[in-house]
Amino acid sequence: MTHPLTEEDLAVLEALVRAKGPTRVLTDKDGTALSPIRAARLGVIPELVLVRADGWTLGTPVWLEATARKLWAGSWVHEFTLTH
């Protein structure tokens, strides 16, 4: 799949996510995705980040990875892990 994000775009996006958090964080198997701050208040810390072609990012803990991958399946163009 061709996408508009270049390798440079992905590197910048990854740096931004590492500094400020992903767009949303998946918090349950029902697909609820909250802001990083609200997710952290619930004790949900992302370990993996999936990136869509439009630059939107979804962070997920490992235990919700399968659910995260099903959301927008086929739209993920990049992923990376977070270390805390």
Contacts 24+ apart (CB under 8 A), 27-34: 27/64, 28/64, 29/64, 29/67, 31/67, 31/71, 33/58, 33/71
Domain extent for 52? 7-81
SS3 59: strand
Q: pLDDT of 15-71, one tens digit each? A: 999 999 999 999 999 999 999 999 999 999 999 999 999 999 999 999 999 999 999
C-alpha–C-alpha distance, residues 41 and 45, integer Å? 9
pLDDT for res 62? 96
> Could you tell me if residue 61 is inside a domain?
yes
> Could you tell me if residue 18 is inside a domain?
yes
> Could you tell me if residue 72 is inside a domain?
yes
Is residue 1 pLDDT above 80, yes or no?
no
pTM: 0.91
> Could you tell me if residue 1 is inside a domain?
no
> Could you tell me if residue 2 is inside a domain?
no
C-alpha–C-alpha distance, residues 68 and 27, integer Å? 10
> Could you tell me if residue 53 is inside a domain?
yes
Q: How many domains does the chain have?
A: 1
